[in-house]
Structure 1
Amino acid sequence: MELGIIGQAAGLFAVTNIDDILILALFFAQGAGHPGATRRIVLGQYLGFVAILAVAVAAAFGATFLPESAIPYLGLLPLALGLKAAWRAWKDHRDGSEDEEAQAAQGGPSPLEVAAVTFANGGDNIGVYVPVLATAGVSGMTVYAAVFLVLVTMWCLAGKFFATRPVIAKGLARWGHTLLPLVLITLGLLILIEGGAFGL
């Protein structure tokens, strides 16, 4: 019985978070060579996912902290971060090496930036998790939560793996500063449009 729940939890996590691997790879590429960047990215990923899980568990118990109508507006988080990253990339390109040194000092994304993107990207997952958790009962809910939290580590390892493969790492080093803003802006717009935010 418990093995069945573990399998279901793993499958549910994989299906709802597959796109996170690309975003994590971009974050790891951005933090490459910066001391502590991996720790900050993993911390941010956990902060964002724990927030998703907390909202889903609370909603499964009948408490709604996040109205369904508010979920599409979470797209504003990656959109804003994408625009910020695009501005930074454009400014670095225009100003040259002086700003590249400043960017190197930043050491990649902060935990809060990663958490914001993770939470916004997983906002629609809450709607999937709530009925599953509500019908699983307290013991089943505990198993789901434990499996999800273990798999967050696996996802981080996968993102780091892809970001450090020589061919991928070379491509991300060359195009990551352009790709990250593009992915974040696209993600933000998709969340807003698919959710019907602002009457879109």
Structure 2
Amino acid sequence: MSLGSIGQAVGLFAVTNVDDIVILALFFAQGTGHRSTTRNITLGQYLGFAGILAAAGAAAFGATFLPDAVIPYLGLLPLALGVRAAVQAWRERGHDDGEAPQSRPVRILELATVTFANGGDNIGVYVPVFATAGAGGMTVYAVVFLALVAVWVAAGRYFATRPVIARALSRWGHILLPVVLIGIGLLILVEGGAFGR
């Protein structure tokens, strides 16, 4: 592994995943008070990102599991999860039992789905990079990316536990999470050309 290729991998990961920190912070806020939160978020993030790497790696070697025309419709996944979260927040409005309305266990597959769908555009970026890097270079990228997933999870947890941010997420997280998920879903659909160009 050369330092140059590691640096390129770090830069590529950071540029294509900066929005994930916000999503992770929202999920950490949602799971406040549940012991399994960090574990579930970590597993969900790794599972979703492994799916992104597998799809990009396979496409780089000529095998595609998803036709290009299907990728924009991955936006339906976070859109549906966002609508579900919005309905749940609406049903829980006015509850004053001492527990924040957004506090519930984070589901591994839910986070994995959001990670994979949000990374649909990442696949398009990673494919040409992986194809030109070859098997050895692709391994470097995969190792660096997977190491940085842990850094991203830690950053999301860090931001969610800062007093000012934690108070804001505690107060508004149950509204922000559906808005962010719906926004991501619509952005993927629109930018992917699901509604025509």
Q: Is the 8 A contact 1:30 1:109 kept in 2?
A: yes
Aligned residue type for 1:151: L
Amino acid at match of 2:42: V
Distance change (3 Å), C-alpha of 1:186 and 1:102: closer
Could you tell me which residue of structure 1 aligns to residue 185 of structure 2? 188
User: TM-score with structure 1 length normalisation?
Assistant: 0.93
Q: Distance in 1 between matches of 2:127 and 2:33?
A: 39
- Give the CA deviation at 1:103: 7.0
Is residue 26 of structure 1 aligned with residue 23 of structure 2? no
- The amino acid of 1:31's aligned partner reads G
- TM-superposed CA distance for 1:137, in Å, is 1.2
Distance in 1 (alpha carbons) for counterparts of 2:191 and 2:101: 37
User: 1:109: Cα distance to partner?
Assistant: 2.1
Contact 1:78–1:187 at 8 Å: present in 2 too? yes
User: Which of 187, 195, 199 does residue 196 from structure 2 map onto?
Assistant: 199
Q: Which residue of structure 1 aligns with residue 63 of structure 2?
A: 63
Aligned-partner Cα distance in 2 for 1:109–1:198: 32
Deviations 1:147-190 (A, max 9, x none): 00000000000000000000000000000000000000011011
Among 130, 149, 152, the alignment partner of 1:152 is: 149
Report the Cα distance in structure 1 between the residues aligned to 2:139 and 2:40, rounded to whole angstroms: 26
Where does residue 74 of structure 2 map in the other structure?
A: 74
Count of aligned residue pairs for this structure pair: 196
Q: Which residue in the other structure is 1:40 paired with?
A: 40
SS of the residue 1:18 aligns to: helix
Contact 1:27/1:109 (<8 A) preserved? yes
Structure 1's unaligned 5+ residue stretches are none
Hey, which bits of structure 1, 4+ residues long, moved more than 2 A?
Answer: 100-104
Supply the RMSD in Å over aligned alpha carbons. Answer: 1.7
Q: Note the C-alpha offset of 1:138.
A: 1.1
Q: Output the CA distance in 1 between the equivalents of 2:195 and 2:27.
A: 29
Where in structure 2 are there 5+ consecutive unaligned residues? none
Give deviations 1:44-89, integer Å, cap 9, x for gaps. 0000000000000001111011111111000000000000000000
Q: Secondary structure at the match of 2:70?
A: helix
Judge conservation of contact 1:61–1:134 (CA < 8 Å) in 2.
Answer: yes
- C-alpha distance in structure 1 between counterparts of 2:187 and 2:44, whole Å: 22
Q: Which residue of 2 aligns with 1:17?
A: 17
Q: Indicate yes or no: 2:4 matched with 1:4.
A: yes
**Letter of the aligned partner of 2:155 in structure 1?**
A
Question: Which residue of 2 is the match for residue 113 of structure 1?
Answer: 110
**Could you say if the C-alpha distance between residues 118 and 178 of structure 1 is closer, same or farther in structure 2, counting changes exceeding 3 Å?**
same
**Aligned ranges 1:99-138 → 2 under 5 Å:** 107-138=104-135
What's the TM-score once normalised by structure 2's chain length? 0.95
Alpha-carbon offset, residue 101 of structure 1: 9.3
- Helix, strand or coil for the counterpart of 1:199? coil
Does the 8 A contact of 1:27 with 1:108 survive in 2? no
Q: 1:101 to 1:157 in 2, by over 3 A?
A: closer
